[in-house]
C-alpha cells in the first residue's frame, strides 16, 4: 500500500492506526486513551506519547526519524 508521509500524519490525526514493515521488521502506531503508542512487533515494550507531534519527533528506527525512512517503509495495514 502506497502512503505518503503527509497522508500518514493526516490518518493518525484522524485517529487511524498503521502497521508497517521496515527492513523486514514490523512496527505499529496505535491510538491509546492517553495519546499514541509505537511498538516493534515481537517486542514486549512500547513507547507511549501524549501527542502525535512528540511521537514523530522522538521515535527513531536505526537512528533515524520516521520521516527520514518513510520512503523505504512498506505499509501493511491502515485501520
Which of 41, 61, 62, 38 has its CA nearest to residue 50? 38
Residue 33 lies in a domain: yes
pLDDT, residue 42, reads 83
Task: Count structural domains, the chain.
Answer: 1
Instruction: Look up the domain containing 23 and give its range.
Output: 5-74
CB atoms within 10 A of CB 12: 19
Query: pTM for this one?
Result: 0.89
pLDDT value of residue 16: 96
Round to whole Å and give the CA distance between 75 and 21.
6
pLDDT digits (tens, 9 = 90+) for 7-46: 999 999 999 999 999 999 999 999 999 999 999 998 888 9
Q: Is 64 within a domain?
A: yes
The C-alpha atoms of residue 30 and residue 13 are separated, in whole angstroms, by 11
pLDDT at 1 over 80: no
State yes or no: pLDDT of 5 exceeds 80.
Answer: yes
**Dihedral pair phi/psi, residue 60, rounded to 5°:** -135, 135
Whether 56 maps to a domain, the answer reads yes
Give the mean pLDDT of 60-67: 96
Residue 79 maps to a domain: no
Considering the domain boundaries, does residue 61 fall inside one?
A: yes
**51 lies in some domain:** yes
Amino acid at each position: 500500500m502506497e502512503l505518503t508521509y503527509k497522508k500518514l500524519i493526516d490518518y493518525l490525526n484522524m485517529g487511524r492506526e498503521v502497521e508497517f514493515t521496515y527492513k523486514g521488521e514490523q512496527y505499529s502506531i496505535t491510538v491509546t486513551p492517553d495519546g499514541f503508542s509505537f511498538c516493534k512487533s515481537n517486542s514486549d515494550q512500547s513507547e507511549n506519547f501524549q501527542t502525535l507531534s512528540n511521537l514523530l519527533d522522538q521515535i527513531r528506527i536505526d537512528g533515524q526519524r520516521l520521516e527520514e525512512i518513510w520512503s523505504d517503509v512498506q505499509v501493511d495495514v491502515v485501520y
